Amino acid sequence: MKQLSDVKLSTLDLVPVRADGNAAQSLHNSLDLAQHVEKYGYTRFWVAEHHNMDGIASSATAVLLGYLAGGTSTIRVGSGGVMLPNHAPLIIAEQFGTLESLYPGRIDLGLGRAPGSDQMTARALRRERSGSADDFPEDVAELMRYLGPRTPDQRIIAMPGTGTNVPVWLLGSSLFSAQLAGERGLPYAFASHFAPRYMHEAIRIYRNHFKPSAVLDKPYVMLGVPLVAADTDEQADYLATSVYQRILALMRGQSLVQRPPVESMNGLWLPHEKEAVGDFLGLAMVGGPQKIRAKLQVLIEQTQADELIFTSDLYEHSDRLHSYELLAQVMKG
């Protein structure tokens, strides 16, 4: 049975924009956070592709990864993830091939099959491309060919990209990518930080369908986990109200800019909205070190996950830094 100290520890940064802030501040904070968790031995630092969302500044994912990799030295940086239906596979192979050429051995390419936006935005991104989530298996295979060794009859190459073998992960919030990742023998990251309901089933499907590959000889599972760690349970509950307000805004189709914490959510949400936010954050680790340690031990016992990737969407940057610092201490026991 795995212990907490056996599980790798990583960070997913949503590059949040505060109500009184701007994108530049958020991008600089992202690098500061990457440097901070690197000091505490975190394995990787990922950012995700989102579009048309005023509270998330990571839309130009590959560009941001170059900034993050250039400002760090040991931590792996990557996409959690690139939404492949938005892009021609060759473009992504060239972008990540360039990153791998500049920062060898430190780049991850996590791929998702959702557009990461609404349908109108998806059309604006693709224009004349007919990309769709249905093409995902073929697009993944094409992308991996571009990143793999060049073959004698290969007429289109990614330069940079060919021969870089950038590690590819499949990401999912449903069951489709779990099966595909298993069949392809790829590492799998489940988005349990916002879709915890399907977590156990997705892990089961992935492991049951896993076939050893040149990449992996056995399944490798990473789980997304929301994090609000503070010195006391009471302080964590207070800080978590920023997260609740953001999820509530997402559900209502409102602005996603970060809002400061409040003493009480009473009057800010209706009973059914409170329940929906609770479902969304079903896996959230909210509390002081002791409470978080106990909850993490249960999660590892139930899932036997190989790695956990935490997102801490707090209003004050200093609170986010402290949250990841406390988590590192908890995981090391």
User: 240, 284 in Cβ contact below 8 A?
Assistant: yes
- Nearest-angstrom CA–CA distance, 242 and 313: 8
d(CA 245, CA 255): 10
pLDDT of res. 122 = 67
Task: Say whether pLDDT at 118 is over 80.
Answer: no
Task: List the domain boundaries for the chain.
Answer: 4-229+283-331
pLDDT digits (tens, 9 = 90+) for 223-254: 999 999 999 999 999 999 999 999 999 999 99
DSSP 226: E
pLDDT at 284 over 70: yes
Is the pLDDT at 1 greater than 90? The verdict is no
Q: Which residue blocks in 85-190 are alpha helix, DSSP H? A: 89-102, 119-126, 136-147, 176-184
- Domain 4-229+283-331 in CATH 3.20.20.30: yes
Cis peptide before 160 (omega within 30 of 0): yes
Percent of the chain with pLDDT over 70: 94
Is pLDDT above 60 for 121? yes
Structure confidence at residue 127 (pLDDT): 52
pLDDT computed for residue 174 by the predictor: 85
What value does the mean pLDDT take over residues 142-170? 94
Q: Is the pLDDT of residue 281 over 90?
A: yes
Look at residue 54 and tell me whether its pLDDT is greater than 60.
yes
**End-to-end Cα spacing for the chain:** 16
Is the per-residue pLDDT at 84 higher than 80? Answer: yes
Residue 219 half-sphere exposure toward CB, CA atoms < 13 A = 23
3-state class (DSSP) for residue 211:
coil
What value does the mean pLDDT take over residues 275-294? 95
The more confident residue out of 81 and 46 is: 46
Give one DSSP letter per residue of 171-185, joined into a string: EESSSHHHHHHHHHT
The Cα 229–Cα 215 span in angstroms is 34
Helices within 136-232 (DSSP H only): 136-147, 176-184, 199-209
For residue 183, the model assigns a pLDDT of 96
Mean pLDDT of 99-121: 86
Nearest-10 Cα torsion for 207, 209, 215, 218: 40
* 30-39, 284-293, 324-333: the lowest-pLDDT one: 324-333
Q: What percent of the chain has pLDDT over 90?
A: 84
Q: What is the CA radius of gyration of the chain?
A: 19
H-run or E-run covering 63: helix 61-70
> pLDDT tens digit string along 170-213?
999 888 999 999 999 999 999 988 888 899 999 999 999 999 99
Query: What pLDDT shows up at residue 103?
Result: 98
State residue 128's pLDDT score. Answer: 56
Arithmetic mean of pLDDT over the chain: 93
